[in-house]
Amino acid sequence: MNLEEMLKFADEIVFSKTGRHLDDLQEAVLKGTIQRETYKQIAKNFDCSESRVREISSELWQILSEEVGEEVRKTNFQSAMERWQHSNILNFAQNVSGSFNICGEARHQPDIQNSNSFDRETSNSQLINAPYQDLSEMPELGNFYNRASELNILETWILKQHCHLIALTGISGIGKTALAVKLVQRIKNEFDYVIWCSLNTPPKFLEFQERLLHFLSNPEKGDPSESEIIPKKLKLIKYLQKYRCLVVLDDLQNLFCSEDFAGYYKQEFQDYHFLFENVKDLSHQSCFLLVGWEHPREIHSNQNINTLFRVLKVTGLDVKAGRELLFNNGLEELDSWEFLIECYQGNPLWLKNLVTLVQEVGLSTRDCLQDDILLLPEEVKESLQQHYDRLAQIEKQIISVLARESQAVNREKLLDSSEILLSDLINGLQSLSRRCIIQKTKNNYTLSSVLKQFFVNLQESDLITPPSYSKLGIKDNS
């Protein structure tokens, strides 16, 4: 295994355990370890203290040890990773050979909803253990490219680490729903019950609870609380304890307030908070997958390996998948495709909207990138306007500063340029980051090209209200 491969494996492990990629110091520790440097040398090269390097290293060794199943230290990191890779290849080979349909019988139990009558007749005995599914609200999956690493991470979190609550967040069109559909298709047979609920127009909590209870109270499977009189909330948890259930809630942002920081429930949906708290904290064997622009405040991305909740921020398609998408949608191939995909953050919906615009107006691919101005199809603008309308006033002020800057901006500059109080600024940055609207590199913040262009246009058309400094720091309760 070469250095790059080793770093890639280590990064995958750390990401699957913590939801975060290797940071610069962690990467420096691993590179230094492979190059046989001492902790002192690594600290000197990175310009930090040796004790900090030792602290980060010890956390890293612990994370890696748990995944590879042997104690990983500085002295055996390289050989441990090679052994782990070897055993993974063997496992993979066994799994693959186990999944082949050698004698014509499906290895997995049938999907009641989608199986044909022949399947149903021939697999009566299997039906007893088949998962019950209500996927009537799950969208159809069209062409689907890549996402291998996201699917692996989610499968690890759900099937191996038995996480209770997982949030898939990201900006509109980035592919959260498609990813969740693909995941459900892959893992649904590992569950007793699988249900997909759209919160496009969210039901009141009691209605939602009723729907879940009705779905789960299947006499054939047995009711865990038939003879007991217990509150409905507890009854739901009892089902989650007795059976392995997968509950997917899509478009979660509709539960949350507009014009406030991310993840605050609207008054009428407060009770969902108690459900998610119970799902997160109580002991059971089920998983809730929450898909949307924001995630509830009770789960945060600062999780450690022992927590049973996780956040996966969905980013765009990589260049290879983006090329496939553009090609299959009929765009003329050019060298600048890679640049185009990066400018549009690999967002599959934005790329598709762009192709439609180019084709309908009869433009060429070159026209998309002229004079450093990006084309913003109306559909993209419409969805970004919806994101913008949800922001709190403080967030809008931060955005108006970032949109004017060509480079990433640090906190000090943001403070100077916006006159926002430090505590408000920090809370605003946290909220924007939770919404995946700003990007952070070290201590600098920036907007992606499309967002920058959109917000600049908004400013020019005076749609951004000028910051009202008198209100800064004071919550508007009107």
Rounded Cα gap, residues 31 and 396, in angstroms: 40
Binding flag, residue 201, ligand ATP (CB under 6 A): no
Q: Which amino acid is at 456?
A: V
Among 17, 74, 176, 235, binds ligand ATP (CB under 6 A): 176
∠ CA 315-318-321, nearest 5°, is: 120
Q: Which of ligand ATP, Mg ion, none does residue 18 bind (CB under 5 to 8 Å by kind)?
A: none
Q: Considering only 222-230, 347-355, 404-412, 470-478, which stretch makes contact with ligand ATP by CB under 6 A?
A: 347-355
Helix (H) or strand (E) holding 288: strand 287-292
Q: What is the DSSP string of 338-366?
A: HHHHHHTTT-HHHHHHHHHHHHHHT--GG
Q: How far is the CB of 421 from ligand ATP (least distance, A)?
A: 32
- The number of angstroms, rounded, from the C-alpha of 436 to the middle of its chain's C-alpha atoms is 10
Q: Which stretch binds ligand ATP (CB under 6 A): 22-30, 136-144, 411-419, 427-435?
A: 136-144
> Alpha-carbon distance 273 to 264, whole Å?
10
CB 411 within 8 A of CB 443: yes
Nearer to ligand ATP, 43 or 290 (CB): 290
Measured distance CA(180)–CA(187) in Å, rounded: 10
By CB under 6 A, name the one of 133, 156, 172, 397 that touches ligand ATP.
Answer: 172
Rounded least distance, CB 383 to ligand ATP, Å = 6
Question: What's the min distance (Å) between Cβ of 333 and ligand ATP?
Answer: 17
Our CB check for ligand ATP shows the closer of 30 and 391 to be 391
Our finding on whether 348 is near ligand ATP (CB under 6 A) is yes
Extract the tokens encoding 77: 């990191």
Helices (H), 145-227: 148-155, 176-187, 205-216
- What's CA 421's distance to the chain center, in Å? 30
Helices 393-404 and 411-418, interaxial angle, to 10°? 110
d(C-alpha 259, C-alpha 251), whole Å: 18
Nearest C-alpha neighbor of 344 from the set 301, 311, 383, 312 = 383
Would you count residue 346 as binding ligand ATP (CB under 6 A)?
Answer: no
CB of 70 to Mg ion, least distance (A): 41
Nearer to Mg ion, 225 or 315 (CB): 315
Minimum CB distance to ligand ATP smaller for 182 or for 244:
182
Q: Which of 137, 260, 147 is nearest to 201 (CA)?
A: 137
Contact call for residue 390 and ligand ATP (CB under 6 A): no
Residue 245, contacted partner among ligand ATP, Mg ion, none, CB below 5-8 A by kind: none
CB of 137 to ligand ATP, least distance (A): 13
**Contact characters 153-192, Mg ion, x per CB under 5 A:** ------------------------x---------------
Segment interacting with ligand ATP (CB under 6 A) among 53-61, 79-87, 175-183, 232-240? 175-183
* CB atoms closer than 10 angstroms to residue 113: 14
Count interface residues toward ligand ATP (CB under 6 A). 20
CA distance 423 to 409: 17
Stated as kind and residue range, the H or E segment containing 84 is helix 77-99
- Convert residues 282-321 into a mask of x (bound to ligand ATP by CB under 6 A) and - (unbound): -----------x-----------------------x----
- Stretch near ligand ATP under the rule CB under 6 A, chosen from 21-29, 170-178, 272-280, 368-376: 170-178
Residues that bind ligand ATP (CB under 6 A): 142-147, 170, 172-178, 293, 317, 325, 348-349, 352
